[in-house]
């Protein structure tokens, strides 16, 4: 929302400053596997949900740049004014990273604001080994990152950075509420955030992140991020080793997400018997196993469908810096899914 | 923002559901002493800051209903569509309570959404003695309250209630993000908030408030609110007793706010010598004393101007349930302001 509000203010400051009714027909673009908050923001900000245009993705979950170009042309053809493109660095479900450099070529050509939603995958910035996942970030107009995700800052802790100059955040958001944000203080007020943010009373969430970096340093967190990604790849290997009992949703994930199905004994059939009915039944397996997990108290693993790919429920494990998992704990997880999974009634 | 988004969705659901560009020329109304968040919300939600119309207030800081009627008529005359009126129950600076019943007569007549911003004054609801300050609240469509204010819940803890039926919050805010808010769980998902709120990852802030009420009960907090208001009246009495060294901004406040000037010896003159220059100089006193407070570490009291009344800086003390102050601590506060106030260079 911050990125969208800034982008809108930059090209259409009249929403803040003039007495006119209505708004220019602004249109934004984000992939069909990106976070729901873009649709929600389009609704809240009065752009209209419909003007949050969904761009198709490839098999790995990355935004298709050809489709982005096509959707921009379509929006213009129906009278819209494209203004904002979001790239996701770490999609919620598959952990996919969009091609930021490719998207930046498009946004620079069309004069659009480029935002990078690195809420999940921003932690890769800490890692020398995995930083290349977010190559091109320096070309974005703004980016967001939640250290409360991969590196485990206490909820909530979100960064929003913009490389726009000219105090855009302040000009966009200030309401000149001098009864709360006094300018006549005896010290430098330029770091005061009240005039720059949408919230009023809030905690100093940034302090948690600052303290974490002071305590462990970038390098240590980078190694922990690398370990989380390593463990994800290790789980993929173990899933493959277990043969027809498990199946990966995509062959290899890019980040610390691993998405997979468990196939109970009663459902293990040859591939030609995998009818639409068989798949529908498979989509009920993960919720039923999760119910068993909740009752037995041994595991807590989320499940998810993937609407953009017309896929129903599968397990979605996302590894983070804490706890630091070992190989044998992955075996326990898979053993336990098998144990609970053979108990369920289909 | 929640109240405004719901009110907008109720009369203009097309922002969420249709492919149209633009928005109906919606206009909202709130007093010139209300919180800045209404202007900010009008900007963020794309209504336009200008369409957040400022209604004049009386000497005590209460919204003038005649002016509200006049402003509604003016908005219609310029082609606007009034949709939302805010009443403040406890303004930020003076702690004034708008006449909710009077405003409800207006909004019911015009078919507008009535919101009550009780963020500061909502704590009066806990008090048998002071509850009448918020008389008429039951006629509002929505109301908000921050228990992190008067009763001292840890930041942040905000209530938003609406008496609208038909799952309006969910219909307005849902994005059908089934990859995060699964509907096929084995328990009742109607209390899940993900589909109803704008935020995604967040703490269970409601739990803090629930625990506070379990620990002390409504009645105990009510008595503590009464004490905070009592202490405010006591301070007003002490300020009057100190003669020409202090001056109240208004004769009596309604809530636990007390606004006052300290007049240093060098500025104590007869009333006919209180020129505009004298007042301008007086407005620099509170910031200078606050600087002395910061250096000496004995007190921390905010100051504020009141733009709606063309007044410059004065001290603004707002008493809360914690700490539980006694009369002699008020004497210390006033003695200390005098001690520091005679040191400043004008």
What ipTM does the predicted assembly reach?
0.92
Cβ contact, residue pair B48, A19, below 8 Å = yes
* A146 shares contact with chain B (CB less than 8 Å): yes
Q: Which of residues 181-210 of A touch B (CB under 8 A)?
A: 182, 184-186, 198, 200-203
* pLDDT of res. B19: 65
Nearest to B201 among A5, A93, A156 (CB): A156
Cβ contact, residue pair B5, A44, below 8 Å = yes
* B17 shares contact with chain A (CB less than 8 Å): yes
Q: Which of residues 207-266 of B touch A (CB under 8 A)?
A: none
* pLDDT of res. A187: 84
Return the axis-axis angle of helices B327-341 and B285-296, rounded to nearest 10°.
Answer: 110
Please give the Cα distance from B193 to B264 (Å, whole number).
Answer: 54
* pLDDT of res. B183: 80
Min distance B232 CA to chain A CA atoms (Å): 20
* pLDDT of res. B35: 96
Contact residues for B341 (Cβ-Cβ < 8 A; gap 6+) = B262, B264, B285, B289, B292
Tell me which residue of B113, B285, B316 sits closest to A179, measured CA to CA.
B316
Please give the Cα distance from B106 to B87 (Å, whole number).
Answer: 12
Q: Which residue has the tokens 């004008």?
A: B346
Contact residues for A134 (Cβ-Cβ < 8 A; gap 6+) = A89, A97, A100, A116, A118, A121, A122, A124, A125
* pLDDT of res. A271: 84
Min distance B146 CA to chain A CA atoms (Å): 10
Q: Which of residues 259-278 of A touch B (CB under 8 A)?
A: none
- The answer to whether residues A319 and A259 touch, using CB atoms and an 8 Å cutoff, is no
By C-alpha distance, the chain A residue nearest B147 is: A201
Sites in chain B below the pLDDT cut of 50: none
Min distance B21 CA to chain A CA atoms (Å): 5
Please give the Cα distance from A252 to A255 (Å, whole number).
Answer: 9
Sites in chain A below the pLDDT cut of 50: none
Q: pTM of this prediction?
A: 0.94
Nearest to A47 among B36, B46, B182 (CB): B46
Q: Which domains does chain A have, with CATH numbers?
A: 1-146+157-202 (3.40.640.10), 218-342 (3.90.1150.170)
* Helical (H) or strand (E) element with B156: none
* pLDDT of res. A101: 98
Min distance A290 CA to chain B CA atoms (Å): 9
């Amino acid at each position: 929302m911050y990125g969208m509000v800034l982008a809108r203010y930059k090209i259409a400051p009249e929403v803040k400053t003039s007495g006119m009714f209505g708004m220019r027909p602004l249109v934004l673009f984000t992939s069909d596997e990106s976070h729901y908050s873009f649709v929600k923001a389009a609704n809240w900000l009065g752009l209209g949900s419909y003007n949050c245009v969904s761009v198709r993705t490839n098999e790995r979950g990355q935004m298709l740049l050809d489709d982005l170009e096509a959707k921009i042309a379509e929006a213009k053809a129906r009278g819209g004014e494209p203004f904002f493109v979001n790239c996701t660095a770490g999609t919620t479900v598959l952990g996919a990273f969009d091609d930021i450099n490719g998207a930046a070529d498009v946004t620079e050509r069309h004069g659009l604001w480029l935002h990078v939603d690195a809420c999940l995958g921003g932690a890769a910035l800490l890692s020398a080994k995995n930083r290349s996942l977010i190559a091109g970030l320096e070309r974005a107009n703004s980016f967001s990152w939640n250290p409360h995700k991969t590196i485990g800052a206490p909820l909530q802790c979100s960064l929003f950075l913009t490389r726009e100059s000219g105090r855009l955040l302040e000009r966009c958001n200030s309401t000149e509420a001098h009864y709360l944000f006094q300018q006549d203080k005896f010290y430098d007020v330029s770091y005061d955030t009240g005039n720059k943010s949408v919230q009023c009373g809030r905690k100093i969430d940034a302090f948690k992140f600052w303290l974490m970096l002071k305590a462990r340093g970038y390098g240590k967190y980078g190694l922990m991020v690398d370990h989380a990604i390593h463990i994800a790849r290790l789980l993929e290997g173990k899933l493959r080793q277990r043969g027809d009992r498990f199946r990966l949703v995509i062959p290899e994930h890019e980040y610390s997400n691993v998405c997979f199905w468990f196939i109970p004994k009663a459902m293990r059939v040859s591939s030609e018997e995998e009818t639409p009915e068989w798949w529908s039944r498979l989509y009920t397996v993960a919720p039923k196993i999760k119910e068993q997990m909740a009752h037995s108290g041994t595991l807590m693993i989320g499940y998810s469908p993937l609407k953009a790919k017309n896929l129903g429920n599968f397990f979605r494990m996302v590894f983070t810096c804490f706890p630091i998992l070992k190989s044998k704990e992955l075996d326990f997880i898979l053993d336990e899914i098998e144990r609970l999974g053979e108990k369920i009634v289909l």
